[in-house]
Amino acid sequence: MDAMEFLNLLLCLGTLVLVLLIMIRWSVFDITTKEEYDFIKFFSIGLLVISALGMFRFDLGAKNRANEDYTFKMKEYEILRTKWLEITSKKMEMESSRSMESMSVVKAAQVVVQAASNDVDTQSKKEDE
């Protein structure tokens, strides 16, 4: 709530109280003539209407500011969401490429077993002895 809104609210409440006190013809005001009473009454009612219109105007301004703030925050959210989705998709692509690399088939290669030939040689030497 801005300072102007607060002051307008005080003015509106003050004039409302003034109108109510004048309408019950409280003896504190020392109003003697009918013309003076009507002038104060209509002036207070007019001031109340003007301050009430000001309150409605401030309310519309607050709604517009809230709507603009919401629109701005939603745009920021969409930008952040899009960036997060891009980062997540890149991360998933990297993980899938890593898993595909580990699953890639190794080319067929000839396997030479030298230990078995050594065992045969050692067994033949033992038999010779």
Query: What is the distance between the alpha carbons of residues 105 and 48, in angstroms, rounded to a whole number?
Result: 86
Q: Please state the three-class secondary structure of 23-51 as a single string.
A: HCCCHHHCCCCHHHHHHHHHHHHHHHHHH
pLDDT of residue 23: 75
Q: Report the candidate in 17, 7, 22 with the shortest Cα–Cα distance to residue 55.
A: 7
pTM of the model: 0.49
Domain count, the chain: 1
Domain that includes residue 17, residue range: 3-73
E strand or H helix that includes residue 80: helix 34-103
In a domain, 121, yes or no: no
For range 11-16, the mean pLDDT: 82
Residue 122 lies inside a defined structural domain of this protein: no
CA distance 122 to 127: 9
- Could you tell me if residue 47 is inside a domain? yes
Residue 127: inside a domain: no
Instruction: Note the pLDDT tens digit of each residue in 69-92.
Output: 999 999 999 999 999 999 999 999
Q: Does 22 map to a domain?
A: yes
User: Does residue 83 lie within any of the structural domains?
Assistant: no
Q: Look at residue 96 in the predicted model and tell me its pLDDT.
A: 84
Is residue 57 in some structural domain? yes
Per residue in 29-65, pLDDT (tens digit) is 677 778 887 887 788 888 888 888 888 888 888 889 8
pLDDT score of 59: 84
Kindly state whether residue 15 falls inside one of the protein's structural domains. Answer: yes
